[in-house]
Structure 1
Amino acid sequence: MDASKPLIGVLDEPGAYRDALADTIARDGLAVLAAERLEDLPTGTSLIVAHARAVPSLEWSSLTERLPTVVVSDSRLDADLLTAVDVGLVDYVVEPMLHGQLLRRMIRKAIELRCLEDERTRDREHLAELNEHLEELNESLETHLALLRLDQQAGGQIQRKLLPPHPQTLGGVTCDYWLVPSLYLSGDFLDFQRFDDRYTLLYFADVSGHGASSAFVTVLLKYLCNRWLSEWDGKNPDQLPAQWLTALNQELLDTGIGKHATLFVAVIDHRDHWLHYSLGAQLPKPLLVADGKVMELPGEGMPVGLFRNVEYPRLKYRLPSNFRLWLCSDGVLECLPGDTLDMRLRELEQRVLTCATLERLRDSLALNAPRDIVTEGEHSGEELPDDLTIMMLSGFGDDHE
């Protein structure tokens, strides 16, 4: 017997009728094995052809649960056939010897349906296993996301601790700022530090992207600037900002992390009221408000961390007795009306001109963000399009009206 062929078991009383029935089924290449009892058939049997008289009435149900079954009978009125139909056997043939071709077709169809049902069962089992696996993966993912969220929240707390106190006044110049990360960590950063009675250093940075990798760059920036400030001898303040940008440019390129930043670095001379500064592609450019007018600080510079051998400009501007110097990250531009970048920049100029305090400018932007993420250390959990930062310096005789 060919093992590749489905085995058809014939259940009937031994005799010429059973042999003839087996021969009828065996045509067209079907493998057939005749037996008097189900227990006599091998386990690899694919289908049972049972004569109505060969199976006791109470055994039809258990038989059909084990294997696909086709019933044959010599009469439609056979009581045993009616019993088989009553338990759900609808595949039956009356006078099978006269309808051999129909019987074989029914057998093949029943085997095909059984194969499909087995395949569906395997698919359901596989799907159930897959769903269970997905549930486990989802639970693991939720756990990892929760840990990541906690890590980012902790990182945000550390990042906020690195920011300077605000508002604070050094040498007649007051610094205040508002910083909101897009989620927990920010790629924006700033500092305002007193060097001595004459000089104060400040910088305003916007690292490309946002999130953990950008926040790590701000920590590096804080560390480097603290180190460089401690090494400065207080001489040549006009050269310091450009030197810092050059050194930071080299540091970012050497790390190979693919991050760059826009920066404004400055030294305030409190005695002579000079602002010594350098620009690293800061956008929007620093805006100076004095005598009822607003202007961009002059100068241009390349981003930090993109190109080697960049020379950054050495710039200075004499600060008036009463001034407000505004620094904004590019995320603020997304909160302003206007179809073009130039329109939004002009809108920002008008707003800083009319807003005497940081709170007024912030409120004019109508931002759906926490009032002060820096001091409160809270976040709504809703991601903003970009980090948002505003820094305002005012002095020397500015009364903040």
Structure 2
Amino acid sequence: MPPAKQLIGVIDVPGPERDALAQTIARDDLAVYAASGIEELPPETALIVAHARAVSRADWERLAERLPTLVVSDERQDADLLKAVEAGLVDYIVDPLRHGSLLRRMIVKAIEVHQLAADRERDRARLAHLNENLEELNESLETHLAMLRLDQQAGGQIQRKLLPARPQTLQGVTFDYWLAPSLYLSGDFLDFQGFDERYSLFYFADVSGHGASSAFVTVLLKYLSNRWQQEWNGEHPERLAPRWLAALNRELLDAGIGKHATLFVGVIDHRRRYLHYSLGAQLPMPLLVADGEVQALPGEGMPVGLFPGVDYPSLGCPLPENFRLWLCSDGILECLPGDTLEGRLRELERRVLASTTLEDLRGSLALEHLADDDEIVAQSAPGHEELPDDLTIMVLSGFGNDKS
């Protein structure tokens, strides 16, 4: 289907001269509608060619406001023609019947320029509308982010309230820790509690991922461990840690939240000075320092929350008169030099051996400038963004290292 012709409105006094002007224009895909005044032109008119003799000067501005308009004249009336252009008309041409080809080119060019201007105006209006929508969307997004930030910050404060007071000494063993969330909420968690005059219990967990879902698992862990401790009768301490891990494994699988964790659960027999423990894929392994030597506690186990029906090992080792037991989340590996995992683990052993206190180890990792996990961290949320991962260090020292 051929494209529709552009309709050109010719305003002139009726007669042979107007007909001749219309015939001159009606070529090159241009159609013509001749009229005596602007009111007679159809709405689809694309451009007006007005003869100076048919339009008074007072109407030039009105023509320019309606449509792009060319003025034609049979005589060079410079003053009048220039005033027509000044009033907003596109251009003028003298003796149009002799310069028909030029007139048609001027008409086509004027229509193109007018169309481009209209397109730009539509684009400008569309862009302004889009910017307005974007501003509203950004404002709404900022509002939702602020609400989420407040929720996360409140959640982080609640999570920190679930942590035990530090440091604490239970039956000659001092427990201390430092927990640094990389954002508002942490996937790392720990706890230690005295059971009676003979036993104390502790665990150290690193839940996969970050954010609210990982933090919810730590809350679940806190609740379950308290319940399981209340249900324990103090017998067979060697069975407690593997039973806890197996029960938590079932709980996470039944929850179906796609979260798993690495855990170390320990029961200290203060009377025998013996540690009963079990673990689930702990990395790095707990490091025991005594008599100027450091060794990783032996044993291995599957992560908690990945596979059903897992049996966790029942392990144990005697605790020397003077010892330090270090537990670190895997975030510490990001703070150690070395190109391989093995190299970083060896470097951690070296630094643990050289550290007497928690502050010593933090200093060797250049982390002493970071605040402890207290109200300072809560007030400066989202946390330690310079850390690539949550980082937690826990140290147990005893029995001759009792600082109380």
TM-score over 0.5 (shorter chain): yes
Matched to 1:391, the amino acid is: M
Secondary structure of residue in 1 paired with 2:394? strand
Conserved? CA contact 1:184–1:379, under 8 Å: no
Q: Specify the alignment match of 1:394 in structure 2.
A: 397
Structure 2 CA distance, aligned partners of 1:374 and 1:248? 28
Q: Does 1:357 align with 2:357?
A: yes
RMSD, aligned α-carbons: 2.0
Structure 2 CA distance, aligned partners of 1:91 and 1:363? 81
Q: Specify the alignment match of 1:281 in structure 2.
A: 281
Structure 1 CA distance, aligned partners of 2:3 and 2:45? 11
Structure 1 CA distance, aligned partners of 2:234 and 2:370? 39
Shift of 1:356: 0.6
Conserved? CA contact 2:173–2:402, under 8 Å: no
* Mean CA deviation greater in 73-82 or 171-180: 73-82
Structure 1 CA distance, aligned partners of 2:244 and 2:278? 9
Q: Specify the alignment match of 2:379 in structure 1.
A: 378
Conserved? CA contact 2:177–2:395, under 8 Å: yes
Matched to 1:379, the amino acid is: S
Conserved? CA contact 1:337–1:344, under 8 Å: yes
Q: Specify the alignment match of 2:94 in structure 1.
A: 94
Structure 2 CA distance, aligned partners of 1:6 and 1:34? 14
Structure 2 CA distance, aligned partners of 1:369 and 1:211? 24
Q: Does 1:251 align with 2:254?
A: no
Structure 2 CA distance, aligned partners of 1:70 and 1:38? 13
Matched to 1:279, the amino acid is: L
Matched to 2:121, the amino acid is: T
Secondary structure of residue in 2 paired with 1:155? helix
Equivalence map 1:222-301=2 (5 Å):
222-301=222-301
Secondary structure of residue in 1 paired with 2:26? helix
Equivalence map 1:57-72=2 (5 Å):
57-72=57-72
Q: Specify the alignment match of 1:324 in structure 2.
A: 324
Q: Specify the alignment match of 2:83 in structure 1.
A: 83
Conserved? CA contact 1:51–1:72, under 8 Å: yes
Relative to structure 1, the CA distance from residue 359 to residue 243 in structure 2 (aligned partners, 3 Å threshold; closer, same or farther) is: same
Secondary structure of residue in 2 paired with 1:239? helix
Conserved? CA contact 1:204–1:265, under 8 Å: yes
TM-score (structure 1 length as normaliser): 0.94
Secondary structure of residue in 2 paired with 1:169? strand
Structure 2 CA distance, aligned partners of 1:213 and 1:162? 16
Q: Specify the alignment match of 2:22 in structure 1.
A: 22
Shift of 1:236: 1.1
Shift of 1:57: 2.5
Structure 1 CA distance, aligned partners of 2:305 and 2:322? 35
Matched to 1:347, the amino acid is: E
Conserved? CA contact 1:370–1:380, under 8 Å: no
* Mean CA deviation greater in 212-221 or 333-342: 333-342
Matched to 2:179, the amino acid is: L
Structure 1 CA distance, aligned partners of 2:369 and 2:57? 77
Secondary structure of residue in 2 paired with 1:389? strand
Conserved? CA contact 1:336–1:347, under 8 Å: yes
Secondary structure of residue in 1 paired with 2:53? helix
**How big is each residue's C-alpha offset from its partner over 1:118-145, in whole Å with a ceiling of 9 and x where there is no partner?**
1111111111011000000101111111
Structure 2 CA distance, aligned partners of 1:65 and 1:14? 24
Conserved? CA contact 1:286–1:328, under 8 Å: yes
Conserved? CA contact 2:68–2:89, under 8 Å: no
Structure 2 CA distance, aligned partners of 1:371 and 1:244? 32
Matched to 2:370, the amino acid is: P
Conserved? CA contact 1:370–1:379, under 8 Å: no
Conserved? CA contact 1:180–1:369, under 8 Å: no
Conserved? CA contact 2:275–2:319, under 8 Å: yes
Conserved? CA contact 1:178–1:374, under 8 Å: no
Structure 2 CA distance, aligned partners of 1:56 and 1:370? 83
Q: Specify the alignment match of 1:56 in structure 2.
A: 56
Structure 1 CA distance, aligned partners of 2:339 and 2:117? 61
Relative to structure 1, the CA distance from residue 118 to residue 369 in structure 2 (aligned partners, 3 Å threshold; closer, same or farther) is: farther
Task: Give the 4+ runs in structure 1 shifted more than 4 A.
Answer: none
Shift of 1:36: 2.0
Aligned residues: 400
Conserved? CA contact 1:274–1:316, under 8 Å: yes
Structure 2 CA distance, aligned partners of 1:375 and 1:317? 37
Structure 2 CA distance, aligned partners of 1:263 and 1:120? 64
* Mean CA deviation greater in 322-331 or 375-384: 375-384
What percent identity do the matched residue pairs reach?
71
Structure 2 CA distance, aligned partners of 1:375 and 1:232? 34
Structure 2 CA distance, aligned partners of 1:373 and 1:130? 45
Q: Specify the alignment match of 1:73 in structure 2.
A: 73
Secondary structure of residue in 1 paired with 2:238? coil
Structure 2 unmatched ranges of 5 or more: none
Conserved? CA contact 1:52–1:84, under 8 Å: no
* Mean CA deviation greater in 285-294 or 306-315: 306-315
